[in-house]
Structure formats: structure tokens, C-alpha cells
Amino acid sequence: MLRVENLHLAYGRVTALRGVSLAVEPGAMVSIIGPNGAGKTSLLGAIAGDVAAQSGRILFDGAELRGLPSDAIVRRGIALVPEGRHIFASLTVRENLTLGATIRADRAAARADIDRFLSIFPILRERAGQPAGRLSGGEQQQLAIARALLARPRLLMLDEPSLGLAPKIIDQVYDYLAEVRREGVAVLVVEQNAGRALAASDSIHVLNGGTVRLSGSGAEVMQHAGFDSAYFGVAL
């Protein structure tokens, strides 16, 4: 479904990605792990159209995405939950959710979906009329995921969804992601710490220094003799 081929991205003289390739199939869960500064956020940003890659291909259902603005890419069916969540703090919880559905023409169905999410996440329903800035970190993460899903994406991308959350909340988030997958949505998740992502994923890529150092299933990657050097970049 998504194919990234030989992607290069630089900010001025600083190179973030040097030839990254990977693929995500429908309903699959793919994790990208790697240390700080490995290029993980840049990769998701490039796919979502938030930052521009200089060369390479980003194919979604065979169509090139590179060069499209982010507001067009989400219409193709790719939603991003960025690092730090970026909920709109001054808008209410319900308004945040409404914005998630802003690309949809089926207003009535979108409203029904919003109500469905509010019943899935009771805390959000309680606070539907309050500014989202008052939610706790975990609640904001739930809101950000729900907001992204309201666009009805076929690929959901999450940047460090467990950052700053308590272990119990992280479990809830991953449990929910498993549910999302059952509805046929593919998930591409970036984590700095392998932890929870490893167990949940079909395949894992270790990104370091702007390239994929190691790929495989969770167990393969963790047991691979080269894991430490791939992750920590010792063998650079």
C-alpha cells in the first residue's frame, strides 16, 4: 500500500534521511525505532507532506505523494499524529474532533463518528465542551489519535505516541491501536524506545543516521547480533 523508496531529505546542510526504503501493507503494523536524531520524525513528516524530501519516491497505492502539500495527502488517506500531539489547546475537545473530520463530505456520518469516539473514550465525552488544553497528557494522546482517525485514514502514522505517558496509559494506547488494525487500518509507528512497539508490530526497522540499519520481525531484530551497533551506531 505504502512504498517508500530511496528517500533523501536534508535541512540546509544537515542531512536527515539518506536513502530510506520501506513498505507498509494494509492492516499491518510497522514500527520504526532508533535513537534521538535518527531521522524518524523526518521520515513521517516527509510521508505526511509536512516537510519536503529532496529525492526518492513515496508511493501510496502506486501514486506519487512527494511534492503534495500535507492537506492533500491526508485526503489520500494518510493521517499523522505528530510528536507532542499538537492538539488545539484553545479549542474544545469536540472542536478538535470536528477538525479531524474536516476533510469529510459526509457531515452526518462524521458527527456520528465523533459521538462514537466520545463513547469509546469516556473522559473525552466528559470534557467535550472544555478547552483541550486542560486535558492530561494521556487524554491528549487519546484525543490526538481519535482526531486523526476521524479523517478515516487507511494508514495511521504516530510519532512517539508513548512519550511522557505512564506505562498503564501506554498499554491502553497500544490496545486501542490493535483495535484500529482490526478495522483494516495500517499503522506506522515511530518510537525511540523499542518497548511496547516491538511486541505489537509485524515488522520493525531500525533507523539510525538517516538510513535503515536493520529490518525484520520483532524477535529477529532484537536477537540480531548487529542490533546494538545498528541502534547505537557504533559501527558507523
Partner 1 sequence: MQIIADAIALGGLYALTALGIGLIFGVMRLINFAHGDLIAASGYSLLIAAGRPVLAAVVLALLAAVVLALGTERLAFRPLRRADPASLLIASFAVSVFLEKLLIVFVDSRPKGVDFLPGLAAPVELFGVRLQQLQVVTIAVSAALLAGMTWLLRFTRIGLEMRAAAENFRMARLLGVRANRVIAAAFALSGVLAAAVTVLFVAQTGVVAPRMGLTLVVIAFVSTVIGGLGSLPGAALGGMLVGSTSMLLQAFLPDELRPFREAFVFLAVIVVLLFRPQGLLAARGLRERV
Binding site for partner 1 (CB under 8 A): 48, 50, 69-71, 74-75, 79-80, 82, 86, 88-91, 95, 98-100, 102-103, 133, 147-148, 151
C-beta closer to partner 1: residue 25 or 61: 61
Residue 157 CB, nearest distance to partner 1 (Å)?
10
Question: Do residues 151 and 103 lie in contact, with contact meaning Cβ atoms separated by under 8 Å?
Answer: yes
| Selection from 8, 2, 11, 69 nearest residue 30 by Cα | 2
Residue 226 CB, nearest distance to partner 1 (Å)?
35
C-beta closer to partner 1: residue 28 or 110: 110
Residue 15 CB, nearest distance to partner 1 (Å)?
21
Residue 103 CB, nearest distance to partner 1 (Å)?
4
What are the backbone angles phi and psi of residue 91, rounded to the nearest 5°?
-90, 155
- The b-or-e profile of 55-67 (16+ CB within 10 A means b, else e) is ebebebeeeebbe
Alpha-carbon distances, residue 1 vs 61, 76, 113, 174, 188 (angstroms):
5, 12, 25, 22, 12
How many secondary structure helices (H) and strands (E) does the chain include?
A: 10, 10
* Alpha carbons 201 and 178: distance in angstroms, whole number: 10
C-beta closer to partner 1: residue 82 or 233: 82
Question: Do residues 158 and 81 lie in contact, with contact meaning Cβ atoms separated by under 8 Å?
Answer: yes
C-beta closer to partner 1: residue 104 or 125: 104
C-beta closer to partner 1: residue 52 or 199: 52
Residue 188 CB, nearest distance to partner 1 (Å)?
15
